[in-house]
A and B are shown apart, each in its own frame.
Chain A
């Protein structure tokens, strides 16, 4: 009986040794590495000579009516970008006399309307007309992240009430153009 037990034990040892002879490898992981980038838009750097469109004298000094040759150098928003799909919206307020805010007498006006345009971001430029009650083209969309320059320009000036009207005198007429880039979530 003891002989049988010993022989069996020896066989078990030998069998175990054979099965465990390979060298094993240890693995840890994969450890997930994760991060995120938020939706983000930046308007870039404004270039084009200051932050204001300077139109100079608005009226024809001999007629008192709005000059027909008003123009302003476009502004460039350099290296604007959105990290995802986005919309661009342009809004503008009319040029209005800042100091003389009284209702103009017959034959006069204190407001010049114009159109403001933001181009370069979308295939169709965003346009806002201060003389229009509806501006559906003021917002345009693009489906991809994008980096580029946005050209902001103003033009198509007209005297509110009709170009036959004369402009009231004022040392400052002022309007504001606003361009908004918004990430589409």
Chain B
């Protein structure tokens, strides 16, 4: 091992000595070593890849046909991290909207709004509440966390709650679909 190191020093010294054209004494040179660690963010593997809520409306009782009580929905993303400072979490949500696009009659609605929150990244969570109309228009919304000033490794959780229907209308029947996307990256 020592032999190898000596050879390496010698190899470096040769071009330096040649460049200075000196005779006799030791010569020295240097080689710069340049490296970098790339800035990177990773979201951990989600605990599930979809949120199937099932039946949205009550089948009986005083609120028959209207939105049922829907419990909080969660997706965990353990081991999420960024190795650089000043990062934000962003959550984009699209309200649940009926796939049946026919115009709704008075008293009905074809959208279910909800709040999406991603916890445990910055001091202020990324959160947004969709605000679709009874007809299902303007379903999308976005929320951004505060800036986290340091690299971080954390278990983050997406929580969906506060489900509501515009004007508390009667929900038209059929399938409903929405979506939530989480983005972790440098603050813009």
Contacts and interface: CB of A to CB of B under 8 A. Distances in A.
Q: Do A and B bind each other?
A: yes
A103 interface: no
* Most chain A beta-carbon contacts within 10 A, residue among B38, B51, B55: B38
Contact of A38 (B46, B84, B173): B173
Nearest to A14: B34
Given A26-B42, A36-B54, A81-B170, A31 B49 contact: yes
B148 to A, nearest CB: 13
B7 A2 contact: yes
Interface in B29-54: 31-36, 38-43, 46, 48-54
A161 B38 CA distance: 98
A25 B176 contact: no
Task: Tell which of A3, A37, A183 has the most Cβ of chain B within 10 Å.
Answer: A37
B135 interface: no
A126 to B, nearest CB: 19
B173 A83 contact: yes
A21 B170 contact: no
A6 B35 contact: no
Given A38-B55, A40-B173, A31 B180 contact: yes
Contacts of A30: 94, 179-181
A171 B29 CA distance: 124
Contact of A147 (B7, B8, B57, B107): B107
- Give the most central of A23, A29, A84: most B CB within 10 Å: A29
A28 B102 CA distance: 32
Interface residues of A, number: 39
A124 B84 CA distance: 70
A145 interface: yes
B123 interface: no
B41 A25 contact: yes
Interface string A103-138: 000000000000000000000000000000000000
B8 A2 contact: yes
Contact of A34 (B50, B57, B75, B106): B50
A35 B67 CA distance: 11
A122 to B, nearest CB: 13
A13 B37 CA distance: 11
Nearest to A183: B173
B143 interface: no
A155 B175 CA distance: 43
Interface of A: 2-3, 6-7, 10, 13-14, 16-17, 20-40, 42, 81, 83-84, 144-147, 183
The 6 closest A-B pairs by CB, nearest first: A25-B185, A23-B39, A20-B38, A29-B181, A30-B179, A2-B11
Interface of B: 7-8, 11-12, 14-15, 31-36, 38-43, 46, 48-57, 59, 64-65, 73, 75, 77, 80, 84, 94, 96, 98, 102-108, 112, 114, 158, 160, 170-186
21 contacts: A2-B11, A6-B12, A13-B33, A20-B36, A23-B41, A23-B185, A24-B40, A25-B186, A28-B43, A28-B183, A30-B180, A31-B51, A31-B179, A31-B180, A33-B94, A37-B56, A37-B173, A40-B59, A83-B172, A84-B173, A144-B103
